[in-house]
């Protein structure tokens, strides 16, 4: 099992996304459980924790600081700006002065003097990406962050930001169910020496056995409103894709979730998936996926079976799709 590179650092191939300990897929978990989960991840050998200002309106960052602050040298820490909050309301602000203020607030919540990787969480259409990337470059020069990153942006913005300052990582949704990075950013990242940090690599619970059940989603679960593929018009069609995944998982002697992660890792040495979970059992399962080696035939069969056009429904609702600049396939819609 080889570690994977972000900038001049290396991390375990499977990181931990820290969004859903505080929100997204229902109510936050008990905070003592969240701290125990974070500590368990570190004890397992997970050394890449990925959070954001907006997660739980700062609470995800605070929990990481509370749980892991005393072991800060043992892990690589990532957070995000631009998409944030003010007076309890969600905001989007990519101005350089806003980015620098957000970084100072994150450093305080995270109980650290440096963030290893700091991403622009979303493009701000009012601010050229060069200006926002310049602010991150200033933070690198000031010693407050080590590397700069982008999230939910396409290859053009990646190249423009990289011309201002080397971009160490681009975060994008990438899984068997969402193949959009293969349009352009996967290749651009490889060319520029940029890591592709794959969020939702288990398809927000779809690529599991049993898969997520929309009938059991909490009323606050984002999958009820933002992701049409979980809706009644599309989800039954998507479930038909899973039989082949189960068959290949049996061959590989792993779970479907581990298969999804192993496939993502097999798509490039510069890819680092960051599944999120609130379960210590799933945490261990995800972490162990780094040791699963799929054959070239298995990868090719999964590629073909989960061809992008076979996913039923758009990735996002129209409003959410309009907030990102990730490339779309010609056949995709946002209806």
Q: pLDDT at residue 334 above 80?
A: no
Query: What's the whole-number average pLDDT of the chain?
Result: 97
- The pLDDT, as a whole number, for residue 146 is 98
Whether 189 maps to a domain, the answer reads: yes
CATH code of the domain containing 137: 3.20.20.100
- CA dihedral sign, ordered 70, 71, 72, 73: positive
Whether 317 maps to a domain, the answer reads: no
Instruction: Return the structure tokens found at 1.
Output: 């099992």
Whether 9 maps to a domain, the answer reads: yes
Count of C-beta atoms within a 10 Å radius of residue 294? 19
Buried-state track 24-35, b at ≥16 Cβ within 10 A, e below 16: bbbebeeeeebb
Cα separation, 7 vs 193, whole angstroms: 8
Question: What pLDDT band is residue 216 in, cutting at 50, 70 and 90?
Answer: very high
Q: What is the β-pairing status of strands 48-50 and 76-81? A: parallel
Which listed residue (25, 55, 118, 235) is catalytic? 55
| Average pLDDT value for residue range 146-155 | 98
Q: Beta partners for 81?
A: 120
Closest by Cα among 168, 131, 161 to 325? 161
> pLDDT by residue (tens digit) across 16-65?
999 999 989 999 999 999 999 999 999 999 999 999 999 999 999 999 99
Number of domain units in the chain: 1
pLDDT over 90 percentage in the chain: 96
Under a CB-based contact definition with an 8 Å cutoff, are residues 233 and 313 in contact? Answer: yes
What own/partner pairs with CB < 8 Å and gap ≥ 24 does 99-106 have? 99/132, 99/135, 99/136, 99/139, 100/135, 100/138, 100/139, 102/53, 103/139, 103/144, 103/145, 104/144, 105/53, 105/58, 106/53, 106/58, 106/61, 106/79, 106/81
Cis peptide before 210 (omega within 30 of 0): yes
Closest by Cα among 317, 257, 263 to 283? 257
Q: pLDDT at residue 151 above 90?
A: yes
Whether 236 maps to a domain, the answer reads: no
Domain range for 63: 4-203+265-291
Cα separation, 230 vs 238, whole angstroms: 9
Buried-state track 157-170, b at ≥16 Cβ within 10 A, e below 16: bbebbbebbbbbbb
Q: pLDDT at residue 70 above 80?
A: yes
Whether 121 maps to a domain, the answer reads: yes
Whether 197 maps to a domain, the answer reads: yes
Cα separation, 50 vs 16, whole angstroms: 6
- The pLDDT, as a whole number, for residue 104 is 98
Whether 222 maps to a domain, the answer reads: no
Cα separation, 62 vs 108, whole angstroms: 8
> pLDDT by residue (tens digit) across 90-144?
899 999 999 999 999 999 999 999 999 999 999 999 999 999 999 999 999 999 9
55 is catalytic: yes
Whether 125 maps to a domain, the answer reads: yes
Cα separation, 21 vs 104, whole angstroms: 23
């Amino acid at each position: 099992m080889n570690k994977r590179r972000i900038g001049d650092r290396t991390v375990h191939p499977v990181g931990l996304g820290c969004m859903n300990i505080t929100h997204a897929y229902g109510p936050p978990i008990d905070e003592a459980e969240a701290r125990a989960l974070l500590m368990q991840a570190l004890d397992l050998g997970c050394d890449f924790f990925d959070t954001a200002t907006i997660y739980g309106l700062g609470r995800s960052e605070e929990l990481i600081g509370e749980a892991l602050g005393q072991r800060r040298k043992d892990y690589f820490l990532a957070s995000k700006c631009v998409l944030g909050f003010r007076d309890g309301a969600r905001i989007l602000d990519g101005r350089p002065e806003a980015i620098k203020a957000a970084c100072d607030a994150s450093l305080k919540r995270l109980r650290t003097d440096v963030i290893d990787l700091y991403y622009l969480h979303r493009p701000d259409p009012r601010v050229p990406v060069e200006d926002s990337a310049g602010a991150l470059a200033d933070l690198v020069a000031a010693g407050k962050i080590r590397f700069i990153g982008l999230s939910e942006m396409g290859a053009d913005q990646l190249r423009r930001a990289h011309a201002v300052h080397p971009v160490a990582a681009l975060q994008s949704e990438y899984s068997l169910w969402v193949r959009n990075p293969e349009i352009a950013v996967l290749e651009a990242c490889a060319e520029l020496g940029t890591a592709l940090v794959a969020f939702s690599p288990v398809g927000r619970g779809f690529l599991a056995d049993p898969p997520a059940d929309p009938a059991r989603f909490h009323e606050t679960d984002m999958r009820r409103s933002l992701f049409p593929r979980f809706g009644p018009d599309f989800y039954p069609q998507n479930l038909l894709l899973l039989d082949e995944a189960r068959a290949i998982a049996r061959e590989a002697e792993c779970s479907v979730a581990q298969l999804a992660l192993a496939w993502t890792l097999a798509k490039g040495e510069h890819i680092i998936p960051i599944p999120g979970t609130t379960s210590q059992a799933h945490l261990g399962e995800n972490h162990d996926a780094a040791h699963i080696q799929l054959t070239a035939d298995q990868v090719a069969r999964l590629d073909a079976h989960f061809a992008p056009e076979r996913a039923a429904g758009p990735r996002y609702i129209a409003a959410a799709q309009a907030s990102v600049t990730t490339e779309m396939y010609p056949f995709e819609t946002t209806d």
